[in-house]
Structure formats: C-alpha cells, structure tokens
Amino acid sequence: MDKLSPIGIFDSGYGGLTVFKEIKKLLPQYDYIYLGDNARVPYGTRSFDAVYQFTKECVFKLFDLGCNLVILACNTASAKALRSIQQNDLPPGKKVLGVIRPTTESINKYTSSQNIGILATQGTVISESYPIEIAKFHPNIQVFQQACPFWVPLVENNEIESEGAQYFIEKDIMELLSKSPTIDTIVLACTHYPILLPIINTFIPEGITVLSQGKLVAESLIDYLKRHIEVEEKCSKNGTLAFYTTDNPTDFQEKARIFFGKEIIAKHIKV
C-alpha cells in the first residue's frame, strides 16, 4: 500500500491561512502542511507565466514533502495556474484543487437579485475566471468585478489599521457598487481579504452579504474526499500541522497568529 500523506495547502503568503483555519476546523483529523511563498508575494500583479511558474514550484515542493493532495488556497494561483498544472504537470497519483470552483458552484444560495460583486486581485479579475465559472453553474447570475491591487500589500505589510487601508478599501468597494445598484452579495475572492473584514464591513450598505471563502472551500473538500475514496484513503490522520514559508519564519509565526488564530511554529523552506 502507498505511504499515507498529509494534505498540502498553498498560498502566495498568509492569505491561505484564512482557508486553512476553516479546513482544520471541519476536518481536524488529517495531517496538513502549509506553504506560504511570502518571499515572492504578491502574485496578484504578476504575469500568467510568473504565477504558473511560482505556483508549480511550490506545489512540487509540497509533493516532495510527501503530499499527494494539494489545495491552492489562493485565487490568483487557482485562476492562473491550476488548469495548466492539472493538464500538463501532475505526476501519477498526485492531485491539485483550487478555491474558485468551490466558491462559484454554491453562489446561487446567497443572491436573490442575481447580481454578484467580486473583489479580487488584478490577476484574478483579468483572468475572468469568476464570470466564466459562475456562468457555467448559474447562467442567470450577473457578475461585476473590482480589482483591489493595494489590499494584499496592506495585509502583508501589517498596514491594516492605517488610514491608507481605510481609503483604498472604501474606494474599491464604492467603485464595485457603482457598477450595479442591485448587487446583494459580495465575494471576497482573495484569501487575504477576510482579515480586512472589520474595515470592509464599515463600508458595506445594509442588505448586502459579504462572503469569505474559507467555509465554502472546507465544505467542498469534505464532499471531494467523500466522492474520492481512493484519495481519502491515502491521507494520514494524526491531526498534525506543519508550516513552511519561503521568507522569514519568525515574521511568519507572528502574522500567522492573526490569520490562523493560534500560535504556530514555522520553518523556512527554499523552493
């Protein structure tokens, strides 16, 4: 029988921890390895080729660390690299999943006006992945997008409380809402954004639901593992967590406390 393996979780930086936290809550029995490519964040303003190359390197690092299943807990990587990796690069027995499909397939449950807003990185917006995926599952839903290029740097540089954060968050939300008066659901389609939720909420008019992806992705993973018993059987189940960053592990540990909600130990890794 094949060796049992942890589940890999990848993000360009800290954002994926907001998804990992929900996965860990609903599926505490599995072993996990998180890898944040903090040395090269942000991915959101980079070219398709760069995001594909960086994501591939990190996914293969997680394979080297023993993972058979890797979740791209990053919208930008899911939008720009997932399909190419799935089609061209996967060694036998290895699987990679993203966060866009789990978010889009159940989105109809949240909207009555059928008008949805997407807040995301430039890369995710330009890829058109959200409008394309939503149209597949729910052709009646209209999608309005707004790129928020400053939000990830604000989070990664710990500027959440600053006046600059307030300014850019208000500006981007107002711009999104000006695209349709009947948007009733806004998706935070970048895994970094839930950490900005207290500020985001101060600019959201009453009656609009703001959705973070963590829970949707975790529920979809439960469903995936039920449907793919051959993958589930290969996952090790000791409830352990390991964290790797391509940048400074001490910085990572401090920030991870905010994103993940508890103390963790991180190690540096080269990809």
Q: Which is nearer to ligand DGL, 6 or 36 (CB)?
A: 36
We find the least distance from the C-beta atom of residue 85 to ligand DGL, in angstroms, to be 16
CA distances from 91 to 68, 95, 96 (A): 10, 9, 11
Closest approach, Cβ 134 to ligand DGL, in A, equals 17
Q: DSSP assignment, residue 205?
A: P
Nearer to ligand DGL, 152 or 187 (CB): 152
- In the set 58, 74, 148, 235, the catalytic residue is 74
Cβ closest to ligand DGL, residue 190 vs residue 235:
190
Give the full edge-to-edge strand order of the sheet including 115-120: 142-147, 115-120, 185-188, 209-211
Q: Which is nearer to ligand DGL, 11 or 68 (CB)?
A: 11
Q: Examine the residue annotation and report whether 74 is marked as an active-site residue of this protein.
A: yes
Distance CA 199, CA 54 (A): 31
Q: What are phi and psi of 152, to 5 degrees?
A: -65, -45
Q: How far is the CB of 193 from ligand DGL (least distance, A)?
A: 8
Using only C-alpha atoms, what is the Rg of the chain? 18
Give the interface with ligand DGL as residue ranges (CB under 6 A). 11-13, 15, 41-44, 74-76, 121, 124, 152, 190-192
Q: Which run of H or of E encompasses 266?
A: strand 266-268
- CB 188, min distance to ligand DGL, A: 9
- Rounded Cα–Cα distance for residues 252 and 231 (Å): 30
Among all residues, whose Cβ is closest to ligand DGL?
44
Between CA 93 and CA 234 the distance in angstroms is 10
Phi, psi of 140 (to 5 degrees): -85, -10
Shortest distance (Å) from residue 37 CB to ligand DGL: 8
Calpha distance 160→126 (Å, rounded): 25
With H, G, I as helix, E, B as strand and everything else as coil, classify residue 119: strand
- Looking at beta carbons only, is 41 or 218 nearer to ligand DGL? 41
Which residues are known to be catalytic? 74, 190
